[in-house]
Amino acid sequence: MRTKTHIFMACLAAAAPMTSAMAQAAPAAAASATASQTASAPALTLLEAYRLALTQDAIIRTARAGADARRERIPQARSQLLPNIGFQAGANRNNLIRTQPDIAGVPKTTEQFYDSNSRTFILRQPLFRPALWADYRQAKAQVADANASLEKETQNLATRVTGAYMEALLAEDQRALVLQQQTSYRTQLDAAKKRFAGGAGVRTDIDEAQARLDLAIAHLLEANQNVEYTRRQLQVIINQPVTKLAPIDEVKLRQAPQPGSLEDWRERAELTSPELISLKAQRDAARAEYDKALAGHLPTFDGILQWNMSKSDSINTVGTSYNSKSVGVQLNVPIFSGGLTSSQVRQTVADIERAEQALEATRRDLGLRVEKEYRGVTEGTLSIVALETAARSADVMVTSNRRSFEGGARTLLDVLNAEEQRLTALRDLANARYTAVLSRIKLKALAGVADEDAIAEANSWLKP
Which of 72-86, 192-206, 220-234 is predicted with the least confidence, judged by mean pLDDT? 192-206
Taking only the tens place, the pLDDT of each residue in 324-354 is: 999 999 999 999 989 999 999 999 999 999 9
CB 89 within 8 A of CB 308: no
Q: Are residues 362 and 321 in the same domain?
A: no
What is the rounded average pLDDT of the residues 205-228? 90
Quick one: 220 exposed, middle or buried, by C-beta within 10 A (0-12, 13-18, 19+)?
A: buried
Q: Are residues 434 and 291 in the same domain?
A: yes
What is the 3-state composition of the chain as percent helix, strand, coil, each rounded to the nearest 5?
70, 15, 15
Q: Are residues 201 and 255 in the same domain?
A: yes
CB 233 within 8 A of CB 239: no
Round to whole Å and give the CA distance between 339 and 226.
62
Tell whether 429 is covered by a domain.
Answer: yes
Tell me if residue 42 falls in helix, strand or coil: coil
Q: Are residues 238 and 280 in the same domain?
A: yes
Q: Are residues 229 and 214 in the same domain?
A: yes
Question: What was the pLDDT predicted at 437?
Answer: 95
Question: What was the pLDDT predicted at 40?
Answer: 62
Tell whether 240 is covered by a domain.
Answer: yes
Taking only the tens place, the pLDDT of each residue in 140-165 is: 999 999 999 999 999 999 999 999 99
What contacts 29, CB < 8 A, 6 or more positions away? none
Round to whole Å and give the CA distance between 22 and 374.
48
Q: Are residues 245 and 386 in the same domain?
A: yes
CB 164 within 8 A of CB 237: yes
Compute how many other C-beta atoms are within 10 angstroms of the C-beta atom of residue 442: 24
- Beta strand spans in 315-375 (E): 321-332
Taking only the tens place, the pLDDT of each residue in 341-394 is: 999 999 999 999 999 999 999 999 999 999 999 999 999 889 999 999 999 999
Taking only the tens place, the pLDDT of each residue in 435-453 is: 999 999 999 999 999 999 9
Angle separating helix axes 203-238 and 130-197, nearest 10 degrees: 160
Last residue of a domain, one of 333, 354, 381: 333
Give the range of the structural domain holding residue 422, as residue numbers without chain letter: 10-81+130-298+337-459
What average pLDDT is seen over the chain?
87
Residue 72, pLDDT > 70, answer yes
Residue 318, domain CATH:
2.20.200
Taking only the tens place, the pLDDT of each residue in 10-68 is: 333 443 343 344 334 444 444 444 444 445 678 999 999 999 999 999 999 999 999 99
CB 139 within 8 A of CB 74: yes
CB 458 within 8 A of CB 46: yes
Q: Are residues 155 and 14 in the same domain?
A: yes
Q: Are residues 347 and 263 in the same domain?
A: yes
Tell me if residue 337 falls in helix, strand or coil: coil
Question: What was the pLDDT predicted at 7?
Answer: 36
Angle separating helix axes 58-71 and 46-56, nearest 10 degrees: 50
Q: Are residues 245 and 291 in the same domain?
A: yes
CB 294 within 8 A of CB 342: no
Give percent of the chain with pLDDT exceeding 90: 65
User: Tell me, what DSSP letter sits at residue 335?
Assistant: -
Instruction: Report how many domains make up the chain.
Output: 2
CB 130 within 8 A of CB 136: no
Which residue type sits at 272? T
Tell whether 94 is covered by a domain.
Answer: yes
Question: What was the pLDDT predicted at 51?
Answer: 96
CB 272 within 8 A of CB 72: no
Residue 212, domain CATH:
1.20.1600.10
Tell whether 464 is covered by a domain.
Answer: no
What is the rounded average pLDDT of the residues 81-91? 94
CA 456 to chain centre: 20
Round to whole Å and give the CA distance between 370 and 361.
14
Taking only the tens place, the pLDDT of each residue in 252-303 is: 988 888 888 999 999 999 999 999 999 999 999 999 999 999 999 999 999 9
Round to whole Å and give the CA distance between 87 and 119.
7
Residue 5, pLDDT > 90, answer no
Question: What was the pLDDT predicted at 13?
Answer: 40
Question: What was the pLDDT predicted at 194?
Answer: 84
